[in-house]
Amino acid sequence: MEARIEGGRISVNIVDMLCSLSLEDKRSIIDTLSCDDEILADVTAQLLDGWTEAGSHGGRIGGAIEPFTPLDKARREIALRSGEVAKKEIEDLCNSLRWAKASEERLSDWGFKMYHGEPVTMLPPLTYEDTLKYEVVKREKSCPTI
């Protein structure tokens, strides 16, 4: 790997750098980059639409019986698992709604008591068990089973 000094900055060829890394170091860089919001946005755009926001794309064949490129393999895997992904997302949204409704009802009860002069204490943090006390979301109505 060759490094150059240009305008007071050290410059390296990224391809040379990646080729010279050990597998462990390469995995570490990949792990860090795969969590970057900008990279995730472009990868998501490629997976869903086939192109990044700038109009670029990775290798793809599309329509093959067996996917060949990593992009095609990822798109196929997402298609096969989309029901699982949707189910988890809906469950997470339902849990968030349940938490919010329990918190809202709890604060409303506390405010009612305070307004009517009943003794109240500071509200402790809401726990998951608190959400189970409230019949705020009927899962069979609000959260479809997939």
Cβ atoms 137, 143 nearer than 8 A: yes
3-state secondary structure of 89: helix
Given pLDDT bands bounded at 50, 70 and 90, which one contains residue 46?
confident
- Provide φ and ψ at 47, rounded to 5°: -65, -40
Residue whose token pair is 């992009």: 71
Choice among 52-61, 68-77, 132-141 with the minimum mean pLDDT:
132-141
At residue 51 the predicted structure's pLDDT band, cuts being 50, 70 and 90, is confident
User: CA 24: distance to chain centroid?
Assistant: 25
> Mean of the pLDDT values across residues 41-54?
86
